[in-house]
Structure 1
Amino acid sequence: MKKLSLYLLLTAFTFTADAQDTPAKSTKIEKKQVEIACGECMFKMPGKGCDLAVRIDGTPYFVDGRKIDDFGDAHADDGFCNAIRKATVTGEIVDGRFKAKSVQLVETKKTDKPKSK
């Protein structure tokens, strides 16, 4: 029984030590144009509310450092819960989340609707 307890203790210590030695994988993003919207509403990410997310090279990431309502009402017609927009971002992807240093929305040109006859 003592050997089993010692084995389990050493095994747990080894896994803990390995986890602490492994640095978080990160990818730096510099002034890249991405899609930005509500992760749950528009990118179908799991969650229990409306949270800001970016889609970089086809992969969505929740955003840390900015909130969904920092850019206006998320539930407006052109808000992030109803529309996917473009943004230029700088930051870092760490542990599956985008750590934003800057987020600049790209303004889209609005065209006049054709007049009905």
Structure 2
Amino acid sequence: MKNYLVAFLLLSFASMAQKPFGKINPSLPVDTLAASCGSCNFKMAKKGCFLAVKKDDIAYEVKGTGLDDHGDAHAADGFCMAVRKARVQGKVENGFFVATYFELLK
């Protein structure tokens, strides 16, 4: 019985694994950028928690995917607690980073 419980728990956690947002377009560059909560760690002016990336030392709010789409933002390694690295594709438009692909790295 114990083995079934352990297997169930492992499968449950595996199903909660963070999946990339979007698909890589092979004709566009992929950047590795710092990603975190814009207000908690990048000290952006907007109130509340939101996903942001730093590109060329400028922090941009991310559009297309959100803070909680990549795990618990308030976990020990979550976006509100840590600055993480992410592989991203997208472009800066009107002061936002519009993501077409976003993969949080381990």
TM-score (norm 2): 0.72
Encode CA deviations 1:57-94: one digit per residue, 9 max, x unaligned. 11100000001000111011110000000001000100
Counterpart of 2:30 in 1: which secondary structure? strand
CA positional deviation for 1:41:
0.2
Counterpart of 1:69 in 2: which secondary structure? helix
CA positional deviation for 1:39:
0.2
Counterpart of 1:30 in 2: which secondary structure? coil
The unaligned stretches of length 5 or more in structure 2 are: 1-27
1:14-93 map, 5 Å: 30-93=29-92
Rg (Cα) greater in structure: 1
Encode CA deviations 1:3-51: one digit per residue, 9 max, x unaligned. xxxxxxxxxxxxxxxxxxxxxxxxxx72001000000000000112100
Count of aligned residue pairs for this structure pair? 79
**Could you tell me the percent identity over the aligned residues?**
47
1:98-117 map, 5 Å: 98-107=97-106
The unaligned stretches of length 5 or more in structure 1 are: 1-28, 108-117
Q: Which residue of 1 aligns with 2:95?
A: 96
TM-score (norm 1): 0.65
Q: CA RMSD in A?
A: 1.0
Relative contact order, CA 8 A, sep 6+: which one is greater?
Answer: 2
Deviation >2 Å, runs of 4+: none
